[in-house]
Chains A and B, each alone.
Chain A
Amino acid sequence: MLKPRLIPVLLLKNGILVRSKNFTFHQHTGDPLGQVERYTAWKADELIYLDINRDDTHDFRETMSVIGSTSSNKNIPATMTNDVVSVIRSVSEKCMIPLTVGGKIRSIDDIRVRLANGADKVSINTQALDNPSFIDHAARTFGNQCIVVCIDVKRDPGTGVCEVYKHFGRDPAGMKPIAWAKEVERRGAGEILLQSIDRDGTGTGYDLALIRSVAESVSIPVIALGGVGKFSDFVAGLKEGRASAVAAANIFHFSEQSIIHAKQEMQASGIDVRL
């Protein structure tokens, strides 16, 4: 039987992993390679790397000198410097599970260079909103299966109305989540990564109403992201949210064997997971 997927999301800023809260507060959690083998051994079903650096390039070695030397830094090859592409290349050599890479993808060439360096799929966001035919073009060029469209959603605290945001959650895109999800499916997206900005880093659980409304309006898989604070939130995302896959970032960073424990809890709730 097909297993619902559990997917750790790793946020890269200036070449290091960070935890995020409400898309603004970023705390350093480690080097980008150290987690890969651990997560793979713990039976993560895929990995998603999102580059949330605001600038195009950075020197990774400078970053490491700022945060200081920790034991985990020994994993970093001397050749891994400067840009997200070299991070992808190093990660993919160790990654025996599907690898999705997102962040600052604006052109077909941006996709091509990520795939050529070992990514299996790319996640696109702002560029899809600015120029929706980019999705058609990307899907035709590389196949639907490697185009993931990330949809960032903010819920108005007063009215409860959801709206799609772009530019790292800064600017409203003038779209409603369901309408945009249907459009990206029609244009050839293979999957949707649906992220709640309000829940990011809060640990208060997924926005289940949002996830369910989108999952029921499209026939491509929807990956839920944003808000997981306890392992039972994954169960709710699949059962109540009707997501095909459940993703999270912060919860995996700070506990040993976190993915195995999450899957054990999912299995105990009657979900057939890969263990």
Chain B
Amino acid sequence: MSPSVAIIDYGVGNLTSVANAVSRLQVEVRISADPLELKNATHIILPGVGSFGEGMKGLAERGFIPALQEEVRTKKKPLLGICLGMQLLATEGFEHGHHQGLGFIPGSVRMIDTTQSGLRLPHIGWNDVAVSDRHPIARGFTHMPIFYFVHSFHLVPEQADVIAGTCEYGERIVALVQSANVCGAQFHPEKSHDDGLRIFQNFLALSSC
């Protein structure tokens, strides 16, 4: 079955860039503000910029939280969280207070610690990512890939075995995670040229497991 991708529209972030990038791979793409539309998709992308609390509120208000539990937890459809969308996969977040996340990847979202390094926040720009090809989402690179990041917070997973890629910015930042059908990219694959397209290709090659 050829993939049919739903990009979740929950009121945060620029979805057009994600849709443009995925369209390049000749697959069907739909931007969905209606949780019912996730039923017809084979792959789900959760994009997003903004803050953790606002993101969870946007998902809850539109009824996406039970829909994601059903499609991703029960039916095991592949899910890719991008930037804030990856952070929302965590158990909890500490941006402007304490918020509960989707809980697909055990871990917490914290501000990048730049006290030692004195580096500027947000972490904006292109950074090298060391990938682990134990994870299908990170496979197929013949060189060290480089991706575009824009963020001040990052996901700290409880279990190291979900980590599929890391970068350095004053401390080690988890850039890519995968736990079975659930994937997350802290960087923006849709804005990362050819290396970003490879991430989407790897994601679309996943099937419900």
Contact = CB atoms under 8 A, between A and B. Distances in A.
Interface in B1-58: 12-14, 16-17, 20-21, 24, 49-51
B197 interface: yes
Contact of A118 (B16, B49, B120, B193): B16
B104 interface: no
B125 A3 contact: yes
B127 interface: yes
B170 to A, nearest CB: 10
A97 B127 contact: no
A274 B192 contact: no
Give the interface centre of A3, A96, A142 by most chain B CB atoms within 10 Å. Answer: A96
B122 interface: yes
Interface string B93-127: 00000000000000000000000000011111111
B16 A97 contact: no
A115 B125 contact: no
B150 interface: yes
Contact of B146 (A118, A142, A274): A274
Contact of A92 (B16, B50, B192): B16
Contacts, number: 88
B128 interface: yes
Q: How large is the interface on B (under 10, 10 to 19, 20 to 34, 35 or more residues)?
A: 20 to 34
A45 B127 CA distance: 11
B135 to A, nearest CB: 23
Given A2-B125, A2-B169, A3-B127, A219 B120 contact: yes
B55 to A, nearest CB: 10
Give the interface centre of B49, B127, B169, B192 by most chain A CB atoms within 10 Å. Answer: B49
Interface residues of A, number: 34
Contacts of A98: 148, 150, 188, 191
A1 B127 contact: yes
Contact of B191 (A93, A96, A117, A220): A96
B196 interface: yes
A120 interface: yes
Nearest to B12: A143
A170 to B, nearest CB: 31
Interface in A194-217: none
Interface string A1-16: 1111100000000000
Nearest to A272: B128
Give the interface centre of B12, B123, B128, B196 by most chain A CB atoms within 10 Å. Answer: B128
A98 B189 CA distance: 11
A92 B17 CA distance: 7
B92 interface: no
Contacts of A118: 14, 16-17, 20
B199 to A, nearest CB: 12
Contacts of B127: 1-3
Given A2-B169, A145-B150, A220-B120, A96 B125 contact: no
Contacts of B190: 96
Contacts of A190: 122, 124, 150
A58 B43 CA distance: 41
Given A92-B20, A93-B20, A120 B191 contact: yes
B133 interface: no
Interface in B57-102: none
B120 A245 contact: no
Interface string A176-199: 000000000000001100000000
Interface of A: 1-5, 40, 43, 45, 92-93, 95-99, 115-120, 142-146, 190-191, 219-221, 244-245, 274
Interface of B: 12-14, 16-17, 20-21, 24, 49-51, 120-128, 146, 148, 150-151, 168-169, 188, 190-194, 196-197
Closest 7 CB pairs between A and B? A118-B16, A145-B150, A143-B50, A3-B126, A274-B126, A143-B49, A2-B127
